[in-house]
C-alpha cells in the first residue's frame, strides 16, 4: 500500500491543527499596549504548542521518509496520533486562559502530550514491525531513548504540578528543546544509505 496519500492527509490535518490555535488569539479589548498585556499567557502557550506540533510534523516527516510502504494497522495508528494532536488546541486554550498557575490545565496539557508520545511510539513500533527488524527505520530508531525519556518527563511533570505548575512547564519546555533537533539518527542513516548505493 502506498504511503503518499497517508502523508498528504497527515500534512493536511497537522497544518490545520497548527493554524487554528491562532483563532484563540482574540482581538484585544483596547487599542494600546496595555490591552495586549493580558494576552501573553495565551500567546506563550500558542508558541509552545506550535513548537510541539512542529516537532511532531518534523519527526513524522522523517519517519515516513525512511519507510517504503504501509498497511491497515499503520493507517489506524496514524489516525490515533492525529486524534491526540487534534486535542492540542483545546488544552492549549485552557492552559493559556488559566495563566499557567492552575493545576488541572497544566495536568491535562501534560496528559495530552503523554498520549501523543504514546501514539507516536505505537506508530513507530508498527512501522518497524511492518518494515522488518533489519530495515533502515529499525536501525535508525534503535532503542528510542528520546521517546522513553519524553514519556518519563511527562509523567514527572504531571506529578510535579501539585508542587508547582512552573516545574511542570519547565519540563514541557525541556522536552521540546530535546526534540527540537530533528531525528538526526534517521537523517544520518538515510545519508549513509545513499552513499553506499
By CB under 8 A, name the one of 44, 86, 115, 176 that touches its own copies. 86
Part in contact with its own copies (CB under 8 A); list of ranges 64-72, 109-117, 119-127, 140-148: 64-72
Question: Cβ(52)–Cβ(85) under 8 Å?
Answer: no
**What are the C-alpha distances in Å from 85 to residues 71, 135, 176?**
21, 28, 15
Part in contact with its own copies (CB under 8 A); list of ranges 6-14, 114-122, 128-136, 167-175: 6-14
By CB under 8 A, name the one of 97, 125, 142, 193 that touches its own copies. 97
Q: Does 100 bind its own copies (CB under 8 A)?
A: no
Of 90 and 155, nearer to its own copies (C-beta) is: 90
Of 74 and 124, nearer to its own copies (C-beta) is: 74
**Given the C-alpha cell 487554528, which residue does it identify?**
20
Of 31 and 197, nearer to its own copies (C-beta) is: 31
Per-residue binding letters, 155-194, with its own copies (x by CB under 8 A): -------------------------xxx-x--x--x----
Tell whether the torsion through CA atoms of 30, 36, 38 and 42 is positive or negative: positive
By CB under 8 A, name the one of 27, 143, 195, 197 that touches its own copies. 27
By CB under 8 A, name the one of 41, 44, 61, 144 that touches its own copies. 61
Query: Residue 149: how many CB atoms within 10 A of its CB?
Result: 14
Interface residues toward its own copies, by CB under 8 A: 1-2, 5-9, 11-20, 22-23, 25, 27-28, 31-33, 35-36, 47, 50, 54, 57-58, 61, 65, 71-72, 75-76, 79, 82-83, 86-87, 89-90, 93-94, 97-98, 102-105, 108, 180-182, 184, 187, 190
Amino acid at each position: 500500500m502506498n504511503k503518499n496519500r497517508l502523508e498528504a492527509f497527515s500534512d493536511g490535518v497537522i497544518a490545520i491543527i497548527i493554524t487554528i490555535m491562532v483563532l484563540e488569539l482574540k482581538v484585544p479589548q483596547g487599542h494600546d499596549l496595555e490591552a495586549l498585556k493580558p494576552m501573553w499567557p495565551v500567546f506563550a502557550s500558542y508558541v509552545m504548542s506550535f513548537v510541539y506540533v512542529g516537532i511532531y510534523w518534523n519527526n513524522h516527516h522523517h519517519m515516513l521518509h525512511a519507510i517504503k510502504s504501509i498497511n491497515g494497522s499503520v493507517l489506524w495508528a496514524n489516525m490515533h496520533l492525529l486524534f491526540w494532536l487534534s486535542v492540542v488546541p483545546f488544552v492549549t486554550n485552557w492552559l493559556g486562559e488559566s495563566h499557567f498557575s492552575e493545576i488541572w490545565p497544566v495536568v491535562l496539557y501534560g496528559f495530552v502530550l503523554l498520549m501523543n508520545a504514546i501514539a507516536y511510539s505505537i506508530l513507530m513500533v508498527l512501522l518497524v514491525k511492518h518494515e522488518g527488524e533489519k530495515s533502515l527505520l529499525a536501525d535508525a530508531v534503535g532503542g528510542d531513548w528520546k521517546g522513553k525519556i519524553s514519556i518519563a518527563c511527562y509523567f514527572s511533570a504531571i506529578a510535579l504540578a501539585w508542587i508547582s505548575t512552573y516545574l511542570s512547564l519547565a519540563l514541557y519546555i525541556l522536552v521540546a528543546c530535546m526534540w527540537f533537533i530533528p531525528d538526526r539518527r534517521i537523517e544520518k542513516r538515510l545519508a549513509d544509505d545513499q552513499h553506499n548505493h
